[in-house]
Chains A and B, each alone.
Chain A
Amino acid sequence: MNAQAAKEASFPEICQTGYAGLAVRFGDHLNEAGNRASLAFASEVIGADLDGVLEVSTALQSVLLRYDPLLVSPDLLRATLATLLAQRDWYAAPLPEGRVLWEVPACFGGGYGPQFEKACSLSGVSGAKAVAELCAKPLRVQAIGFAPSQPYLGELPPNWDIPRQARLNPQVPKGALVVAIRQIVLFSVPSPTGWLHIGQTGLSLFDPARDPAFMLRAGDEIALRPVSGAELEAICASEPFGGAVRRTLP
């Protein structure tokens, strides 16, 4: 067994983290199968409604259980998780049911994406080719994080494995599309970022006064549809959810 295979053989692993965390890790680098395994296993754990478990959340390659060690012993919970893990090959599991696909109008480049040209040059494609690649197929919400309902979308083709910038972009607006490391993040709040700002949508991903307050869950998908700046402005002025169209995935 070579070193890489040995390393991969250590996953999935169950690790205590801090006082109240048990993490189930399916990998330590960005990987579609590990992400799918995380989403499928989280769904299984939530469905199992385990005693003492307070909250289940997913990251790109892992599931985190927050539990109360005064209500359930760590060893018992770890054994229960090991049993659930052994039920099947989670890397080959189908994605959970009830996922949603949003088709989202997006404008790339110009004032709507000031770093679009830089991103194109780093990924080695023309502007037209870049838009075609980014909009070619639905992108999965691989994880929600950092801010309310904010998705990490992927996985983009290998030429989009461009680094995060050392110098922070002081502020990108709500609804901004930023790119790096084969992922797009769609910002739910105005924020500084080290990622490249390439485009804009009219989405309000989180609104506590709205029902549902959150537009996205991990595992959902977003298909970007390229529009002009004028079209985006018109959509934003007239349509809720920035003109996004919702479909339930089979």
Chain B
Amino acid sequence: MTATFALHQTGPAVTVQDLGWDGYVAQGISRGGAMDILAMAEGAALLGQSSNLAALEMPGFGGVFSTSCNCVIALTGAEMRADIEGRVLGWNATHALPAGAKLRIGPVIRGVYGYLHISGGFEPPLLLGARGTHLAAGLRAPLAAGDTLPFGAVQAQRGQGSLAVADRSAGGVIRILPTLQSDMFGADFLVAFQNTGFTRDPRSNRMGVRLSAPDGPNFAPEAARNILSDIVMEGDIQITGDGTPYVLMAESQTTGGYPRIAQVLPCDLPRLAQLSGGAEIRFQMISHSEAIEIERAAQAARAGLAALCKPVVRDPREADDLLAMQLISGVTAGEDER
């Protein structure tokens, strides 16, 4: 029997996402896939499965869901209100979801993109080899009430667990690297850019995070700085003609004629994806050799996530408040207490 996940209500832009497409930039398709790659790794660690298995990405609001058979879910990314038949669920944790039980998710408490992972992963048909969604390229559409998704009926290898995760929505320092066009802006401009606090503009989406600095200097170029259209990479910060910085994200266009002042370090992109409205970021230019060491450490941390998952000893169905309590106290990130 096929395991089926039913969507009874959904938020406006809930999509199914894996890690996206790899190798299609030459044909005009950027990565697509999940906005917060780290949340995918966290969900995979909690369920003891591959981080490329598809999950639901829920910007701002989730919905009401149920499944045709007993399964295990994990909730990661932006923290949202969630319950199963009224029992409040902790975030960054796994939960047993009995067949037919109503799972309610949303609205968001902090951050932008919440993720719902399921044992075995969601299994919509492969499109060009991936199960994610790329709205700009027309590869799948947002999910709607009444939709169903098959999911892998494999048993989760790991039992119930939770993970202490540092908040990624509060802003702070975002590390950047030079691009081909950084020098065009001049040293003074680059210093001013790094001395400015930016917040997320509500007009941000999966293509890019639009930044605003109402009290900052005007970053509009003095003369037209059109460049020959060139390849765009995820994390590039383009400055449009009116001076708006735009961090290009999972669904960016693949080429562009606006100069890119810098590129956000890959391991800092989840903090941009999840930046809460009003939270401030500042950019800090680092060297490529520093970036390599930071990325090496980030890769090791992702690989070590599974070992950090704290098992829940008691059956959560017998202890309604256990997971919520543990999440509140579990803020000492990175300690394996077993």
Using an 8 Å CB-CB cutoff, how does the interface string of A40-69 with B read, 1 for contact, 0 for none?
000000000000001111111110101001
- The answer to whether A150 touches B295 (Cβ under 8 A) is no
- For the complex, give the distance between the alpha carbons of A189 and B28 in Å: 12
Identify A59's interface contact among B137, B229, B296, CB under 8 A: B229
B25 close to A66 (CB less than 8 A): yes
Residues of chain A touching chain B, judged by Cβ–Cβ distance below 8 Å, are: 15-21, 23, 25, 28-30, 54-62, 64, 66, 69-70, 74, 143-150, 152, 188-189, 206, 208, 213-214, 217-218
- Going nearest first, the 6 A-B pairs with the smallest beta carbon separation are A145-B255, A18-B263, A57-B26, A64-B231, A148-B28, A57-B25
- Apart from A69-B292, A70-B296, what 8 extra A-B contacts exist at CB < 8 Å? A18-B263, A21-B231, A21-B263, A28-B228, A62-B231, A146-B229, A148-B137, A148-B138
Q: Are B288 and A206 in touch, CB under 8 angstroms?
A: no
CA distance A59 to B25 in the complex (A): 10
Interface status of B152 (Cβ within 8 A of chain A): no
Neighbouring A residues of B229 by C-beta, 8 Å: 59-60, 143, 145-146, 152
Central interface residue in B230, B256, B263, by most chain A CB within 10 Å: B230
In this complex, what residue of A is CB-closest to B138? A189
Contact of B231 among A54, A145, A150 (CB under 8 A): A145
Q: Are B228 and A60 in contact (CB under 8 A)?
A: yes
Given A20-B233, A62-B230, also A217-B26 (CB < 8 A): yes
A-B contact pairs, 8 of them (CB 8 A): A17-B233, A19-B291, A61-B228, A145-B255, A146-B253, A148-B28, A148-B29, A208-B127
A145 contacts B22, C-beta separation under 8 Å? no
Closest to B241 in A: A166
Cβ of B236 within 8 Å of any chain A Cβ, yes or no, is yes
Contacts of A66 in B (CB 8 A): 25, 233
Min CB distance B297 to A, Å, is 11
A152 to B177, CA, bound (A): 29
Interface size on B, residues (CB 8 A): 39
B128 CB within 8 Å of chain A: yes
Q: Which residue of B lies closest to A188 (CB)?
A: B28
Which residues of chain B from 23 to 56 have any CB-CB distance to chain A below 8 Å in the complex?
Answer: 23-29
Q: Which residues of B contact A54 (CB under 8 A)?
A: 22-23
By a CB distance below 8 angstroms, the chain A residues around B138 are 148, 189, 206, 208
Residue of A at shortest CB range from B254? A145
Roughly how many angstroms separate A15 CA and B230 CA in the complex, as a whole number? Answer: 13
Contacts of A29 in B (CB 8 A): 228
Cα A60 to Cα B228 in complex, Å, equals: 8
Contact B254–A19 (Cβ < 8 Å): no
CA of A20 to CA of B22, assembled, Å: 14
A19-B253 in contact given A143-B229, A149-B28 (Cβ < 8 Å): no
- Tell me, rounded to whole Å, the shortest Cβ–Cβ distance linking B285 to chain A: 12
* B25, B27, B265: residue with the most chain A Cβ atoms closer than 10 Å: B27
In the complex, which residue of chain B has the Cβ closest to the Cβ of A208? Answer: B127
A218 — nearest CB in chain B belongs to which residue? B26
Please tell me which one of the listed residues A55, A64, A147 contacts residue B137 in the complex, with CB atoms under 8 A apart.
A147
Expressed in whole angstroms, the minimum distance between the Cβ of A135 and any Cβ of chain B is 24
Contacts of B231 in A (CB 8 A): 21, 23, 57-59, 62, 64, 145
Minimum C-beta distance from B148 to chain A (A)? 20
**In contact, A143 and B255 (Cβ under 8 angstroms):** yes
Taking the closest CB of chain A, its distance from the CB of B242, in whole angstroms, is: 12
CB distance from B29 to the nearest CB of A (A): 5
Q: Report Cα–Cα, A192/B137, bound state, in Å.
A: 15
Does B266 count as interface, using CB distance less than 8 angstroms?
Answer: yes
Is B28 touching A150 in the complex (CB atoms < 8 A)?
yes
- Known contacts A55-B26, A144-B27, A145-B28; A23 and B127 CB within 8 A of each other: no
The reply to whether the CB of B60 lies closer than 8 angstroms to some CB of chain A is no
Q: Is B28 a contact of A144 with CB atoms below 8 Å?
A: yes
* Docked-complex contact B266 and A58, CB < 8 angstroms: no
From B231, which residue of chain A is reached at the shortest CB distance? A64
Cβ A17 vs Cβ B228 within 8 A: no
Which residues on B sit within 8 Å (CB–CB) of A69?
288, 291-292, 295
Complex contacts, A144 vs chain B, CB 8 Å: 26-28, 254
